[in-house]
Amino acid sequence: MFTGIIEEVGKIKKFTINDDIVNLEINCKKIIHNLKTGESVSVSGICLTVTKIIKNSFSAQMIPETINKTNAKYWGKNTLVNLERSLQLSDRINGHIVQGHVDETFHVKEVNIIKDSWVISFNLNEKLKKFIIYKGSISINGVSLTISSVNKDFFSVSLIPETLKRTNLVNLKSNDLVNVEIDIFAKYIENFLRN
């Protein structure tokens, strides 16, 4: 479990495929301290298990389902990824509860820069539309964000300079594909009401 508060942006050092398994090695400086094999790390919103610790980097693996369901299919060497270690029970939840289980990928509709802040709009799909509410929480590439507006076919989030400085969202442009995780509480409520 994560909070969507990114600790650092890492860079993919190696991206190889062996028998449908993707092997990643990710360079990082902050999260590597006290990181252990077997621990979970959110990598741009995807919960991955650390398989190996190397100086200033860690390794992880992805299965075909992960590749097919996320924007990881477009990753490669030098891709910048958002990194967050798993939540400890003594930690503050400064964002919202994020599982690292990507629900869907959305395309960036447009990026509007207003002074120092950005408003990024994403195309909506019918499947997840019911979960997107004004002032609700959403995870985009692992970043906990608040939905600032909702329209018929798209929704928007507003980013302050600090978020842009600390995440890979600063590199987004129109038509980019992002990993989206809907607020877990919204999914539980919808499931409860449906059954």
Query: Count of domains in the chain?
Result: 2
What is residue 118's three-state secondary structure?
strand
pLDDT per position as a tens digit, 62-119: 999 999 999 999 999 999 999 999 988 777 788 888 999 999 999 999 999 998 899 9
Would you say residue 47 has pLDDT above 80?
yes
Residue 195 CB partners (closer than 8 Å, separation 6+) = none
Q: No. of H helices and E strands in the chain?
A: 4, 12
Query: What integer is the mean pLDDT of 50-69?
Result: 96
Asked whether residue 109 falls in the same domain as residue 182, the answer is yes
Asked whether residue 140 falls in the same domain as residue 186, the answer is yes
Q: Is residue 2 part of a domain?
A: no
Asked whether residue 70 falls in the same domain as residue 21, the answer is yes
What is residue 127's three-state secondary structure?
helix
Asked whether residue 109 falls in the same domain as residue 74, the answer is no
Asked whether residue 21 falls in the same domain as residue 59, the answer is yes
Question: Are 137 and 146 spatial neighbours (Cβ–Cβ below 8 Å)?
Answer: yes
d(CA 29, CA 169): 19
- In this predicted structure, what is the pLDDT of residue 95? 84
Q: Are strands 177-182 and 137-140 parallel, antiparallel or unpaired?
A: antiparallel
- In this predicted structure, what is the pLDDT of residue 87? 86
Query: What integer is the mean pLDDT of 125-143?
Result: 94
Q: Is residue 35 part of a domain?
A: yes
| 123 band by pLDDT with thresholds 50, 70 and 90 | very high
Q: What pTM does this model have? A: 0.93
User: At 161, phi and psi to the nearest 5?
Assistant: -55, -35
The residue out of 85, 113, 145 marking a domain boundary is 85
Write out the residue range of the structural domain in which residue 77 sits.
Answer: 8-85
Share of the chain above pLDDT 90, in %: 85
